[in-house]
Chains A and B, each alone.
Chain A
Amino acid sequence: MSETTTRTALRPTVSGRLQAWLPRLVLAPSVAVSLFFVYGFMLWTFVLSLTSSRMLPSYDFVGFGQYARLMANERWWVASTNLMIFGALFIIICLVLGALLAMLLDQKIRQEGALRTVYLYPMALSFIVTGVVWKWLLNPQLGIQAMVRSWGFESFEFDWIVDPDMAVYTLVIAAVWQASGFVMALFLAGLRGIDDSIVKAAQLDGASLPRIYWRVVMPCLRPVVFSAVMILAHIAIKSFDLVVALTGGGPGYATDLPATFMYTHAFNRAQIGLGSASAMLMLGGVLAILIPYLYSELRSRKHG
């Protein structure tokens, strides 16, 4: 009698405990793996950035010497400035184009599915493909310039890709071409999620269509803008393959971005210390922009 009661009393606790522990047990390996491979390696990169490591990692500490060298390195400044220009233009143009395309597609037109696919399709290509395609399109002797000239406009010039001052904008063109369709899809999903009755109410109040979009629809899309910015920002900062395929960092190193700078120095030029320092600065840059943004967005959503 007493035995059965203990058994029935124990049984739920054992399975209950197991149930409480199981998720943790199952999650533990992935937590450990990400702690080690993400945060551990971040830490290791930071340690390396304080050393004089060249071809292989060494632990000969030189303080912040590598950072000082980086600050004195002209190429690093070119890369950082390029990231500012590229990142800002890429994000803004993608958002504007994506939102416009989504609003136009949202007018209950025919063949919407087909059109959506047309715009979304570039996202299915890798940046390497985009880069190579645009490299030929922008080549002054093969691409757009040559084509327009062959139509008889002999003085037409579009040689940005070979002009050190303009080449960084060709990155923007290719990247926008690739990503704006994706932003459109995000906005379209957001637009479809808006309650029709709000729009109808605004219409009854006599608001014009642009005004409805600006004052009613856009504020509802705030979370969409937030996710789009997050995704686009990380695409911009990670951009490496596009540069490699489109311009190879050239002419000269006019289109170098921090990611390509870091790769070249750490792996091709046997300057692991300097490369690590640049990687840490990239991380710092990302955090400096994202943390305030995340903070304000997540907080305002919780309370607002």
Chain B
Amino acid sequence: MLIKQLPTFKKSALALALAAGTAMAAGTTQASDVEVLHWWTSGGEARAANVLKELLEAEGYGWQDFAVAGGGGETAMTVLKSRAMSGNPPSAAQIKGPEIQEWGELGLLGDLNEVADAEGWNDLLPEIVADIMRYDGQYVAVPANVHRVNWLWANPDVLEAAGVEMPTTLDELFAAGEAIREAGFVPLAHGGQSWQDATVFESVVLGSQGTEFYQQALVELDPEALGGEQMVAALEDFKRLRELMDEGMPGRDWNIATAMVIEGVAGFQLMGDWAKGEFTAAGLTAGEDYLCAAAPGTEDAFTFNIDSLAMFRVTDDAEREAQHTLARLVLEPTFQEAFNLAKGSIPARPDLDMSEFDSCAQQSLADFQRTADEGGLVPSMAHGMAVRADVQGAIFDVVTNYFNDADMPAEEAAQRMVSAAEAASF
């Protein structure tokens, strides 16, 4: 009986093997194709990525889409790691911040100097941005956009009902918050997830202690700054913000918090400019139906979060050519404009015509240029632009634990911050 079944089993095994073979053959890329791993999967983002695909196809190259859904890109990164480990990385991947350096150290990235020289990237990009795109002095990645993280969003009707103006300092924010609460609204909409806690925290550090301190503490991880009095003061301000939030915030997603501002339940939200996508989707106009301003106390600073595409090392000449074309196209005005209009961010090159963009984006770009010249441009810690993922995670733990623990004194949190920065590096 069993023996009789064997041939069928053999046949189906053969069929399986064949199917796997064809699937693999279909999966391999043509030499002149670029395979791009990204997580631009939400409506606007996908449309924006499609612009790049069309531009690339117009130049005669194929685009192999390798989109992995998942907001912060954790899933995409896991997929990328497994692909890289099996020796088959895509030709380009959405990698950002210090992670570019880590991939560079692994020797997996190819250089883009040829394109960068031809296109004059050095003059085009602010130095601090260009630095992030380079590993060991060579361009290995190209920026697609710049997000500003230190934004304060507001509902003008709520502000009017409470009789307050847009706050420009933390003290004004606390005062305005009190008035809004008395008028019967939630002053500050927030989602209690560790990255959102950290987003608010870094804006408070910046607003309360300034750019120089931010740079020392959250970028250079100077133990004296991390554990010092200034940090304690910033932490205390941060904890005070909790009084402006509602009790339903733990675990809430950021877009639900934004919806609270849109619906007029809450007055303010501290969130990066991706929140604009929510306002736009609700059919609101910047400056009229909703207000935007730099987070209180940070009008001379700009915490940036840059999406970039890093290029993996390829051996095939045709493939490299396709890769270089992709890199050139990403920084060209056509893509920068279309992509950033769809995504709510601003172009990575400051020389573009901004008339198509809304007032918030225009202000953002103006601030970007101004702070780049004046030294107020700082990388966002909460969004993986400032420190390595493990250090960032350890700081997140301290921040979120302190924020949620009613009994932890700020001094203890500052001390933990120091040991987090030390313990994470191995």
Q: Interface residues, chain A, CB within 8 Å of chain B?
A: 18, 22, 26, 52, 54-57, 62, 65, 69, 72-75, 135, 139-142, 159, 161-162, 164, 167, 247-254, 264-265, 267-271, 273
- Bound CA span A164–B426, Å: 30
- Bound CA span A139–B256, Å: 14
B192 and A54 form a contact (CB under 8 A): no
A250 and B388 form a contact (CB under 8 A): no
Closest chain-A Cβ to B331's Cβ sits at a distance in Å of 27
Closest Cβ neighbor of A15 among chain B residues: B3
Q: Which of A22, A161, A162, A251 has the most CB of B within 10 A?
A: A251
Closest Cβ neighbor of B74 among chain A residues: A268
Per-residue 0/1 for B240-269: is the Cβ within 8 Å of any A Cβ (1 yes, 0 no)? 000000111111000000000000000000
Cβ-neighbour of B401 out of A247, A252, A267 (below 8 A): A252
Cβ-neighbour of B250 out of A73, A142, A251 (below 8 A): A251
Q: Count A-B contacts at CB 8 Å.
A: 98
B404 and A140 form a contact (CB under 8 A): no
The interface residues of chain B lying within 8 Å CB-to-CB of A270 are 99, 102, 388-390
Cβ-neighbour of B247 out of A73, A141, A265, A269 (below 8 A): A141
- Bound CA span A74–B408, Å: 14
Closest chain-B Cβ to A230's Cβ sits at a distance in Å of 31
A56 and B247 form a contact (CB under 8 A): no
The verdict on A269 contacting B400 (CB below 8 Å), with A140-B248, A159-B247, A162-B247 known, is no
A253 and B194 form a contact (CB under 8 A): yes
The interface residues of chain B lying within 8 Å CB-to-CB of A57 are 85
Closest chain-A Cβ to B13's Cβ sits at a distance in Å of 10
- Bound CA span A57–B82, Å: 10
Q: Which of A139, A248, A250 has the most CB of B within 10 A?
A: A250
The verdict on A248 contacting B251 (CB below 8 Å), with A55-B102, A265-B393 known, is yes
Closest Cβ neighbor of B102 among chain A residues: A55
Closest chain-A Cβ to B415's Cβ sits at a distance in Å of 12
Q: Which of A65, A247, A253 has the most CB of B within 10 A?
A: A253
The verdict on A250 contacting B102 (CB below 8 Å), with A269-B390, A271-B390 known, is no
Q: Is B2 an interface residue (CB 8 A)?
A: yes
The verdict on A248 contacting B193 (CB below 8 Å), with A162-B247, A164-B404, A267-B78 known, is yes
Q: Is B211 an interface residue (CB 8 A)?
A: no
Q: Is B58 an interface residue (CB 8 A)?
A: no
Closest chain-B Cβ to A254's Cβ sits at a distance in Å of 7
- Bound CA span A65–B426, Å: 9
Q: Is B423 an interface residue (CB 8 A)?
A: yes
The verdict on A251 contacting B389 (CB below 8 Å), with A69-B423, A141-B246, A267-B78 known, is no
A52 and B426 form a contact (CB under 8 A): yes
The interface residues of chain A lying within 8 Å CB-to-CB of B403 are 252
Cβ-neighbour of B84 out of A54, A56, A140, A142 (below 8 A): A56
The interface residues of chain B lying within 8 Å CB-to-CB of A62 are 426
The interface residues of chain A lying within 8 Å CB-to-CB of B103 are 55
Q: Is B281 an interface residue (CB 8 A)?
A: no
Question: What would 16 more interface pairs be, CB under 8 Å, given A55-B99, A57-B85, A252-B404?
Answer: A22-B2, A54-B102, A56-B85, A69-B426, A139-B248, A141-B247, A162-B248, A164-B404, A164-B405, A250-B192, A250-B194, A250-B404, A251-B404, A265-B393, A270-B99, A270-B102
A252 and B247 form a contact (CB under 8 A): no
A142 and B193 form a contact (CB under 8 A): no
- Bound CA span A250–B388, Å: 23
Listed from nearest, the 5 A-B pairs whose CB atoms lie closest are: A252-B404, A269-B393, A141-B248, A270-B389, A251-B404
- Bound CA span A62–B400, Å: 30
The interface residues of chain B lying within 8 Å CB-to-CB of A55 are 81, 99, 102-103, 106, 389
Within 8 A of A (CB), among B381-426: 388-390, 392-393, 397, 400-401, 403-405, 416, 423-424, 426
- Bound CA span A56–B77, Å: 11
Closest Cβ neighbor of A267 among chain B residues: B78
The interface residues of chain B lying within 8 Å CB-to-CB of A18 are 3
The verdict on A250 contacting B251 (CB below 8 Å), with A56-B84, A265-B393 known, is yes
B102 and A253 form a contact (CB under 8 A): no
The interface residues of chain B lying within 8 Å CB-to-CB of A268 are 74, 77, 389, 393
Per-residue 0/1 for B83-110: is the Cβ within 8 Å of any A Cβ (1 yes, 0 no)? 0110000000000000100110010000
The interface residues of chain A lying within 8 Å CB-to-CB of B74 are 267-268
Closest Cβ neighbor of B416 among chain A residues: A74
- Bound CA span A142–B265, Å: 14
A-B contact pairs, 29 of them (CB 8 A): A18-B3, A55-B81, A56-B106, A57-B85, A69-B426, A73-B423, A75-B397, A141-B247, A162-B249, A164-B404, A247-B250, A248-B193, A250-B193, A250-B400, A251-B192, A251-B251, A251-B404, A252-B194, A252-B400, A252-B403, A253-B397, A264-B393, A267-B77, A268-B77, A269-B393, A270-B99, A270-B102, A271-B389, A271-B393
The interface residues of chain A lying within 8 Å CB-to-CB of B388 are 270
- Bound CA span A56–B83, Å: 11
Closest chain-A Cβ to B114's Cβ sits at a distance in Å of 27
- Bound CA span A117–B68, Å: 39
- Bound CA span A252–B407, Å: 14
Closest chain-A Cβ to B263's Cβ sits at a distance in Å of 14
The interface residues of chain A lying within 8 Å CB-to-CB of B77 are 267-268
The interface residues of chain B lying within 8 Å CB-to-CB of A140 are 247-248
Closest chain-B Cβ to A96's Cβ sits at a distance in Å of 29
- Bound CA span A161–B248, Å: 9
Closest chain-B Cβ to A224's Cβ sits at a distance in Å of 35
The interface residues of chain A lying within 8 Å CB-to-CB of B2 are 22, 26
The interface residues of chain A lying within 8 Å CB-to-CB of B393 are 264-265, 268-269, 271
Closest Cβ neighbor of B193 among chain A residues: A248
B400 and A253 form a contact (CB under 8 A): yes
The interface residues of chain B lying within 8 Å CB-to-CB of A161 are 250-251
- Bound CA span A142–B250, Å: 13
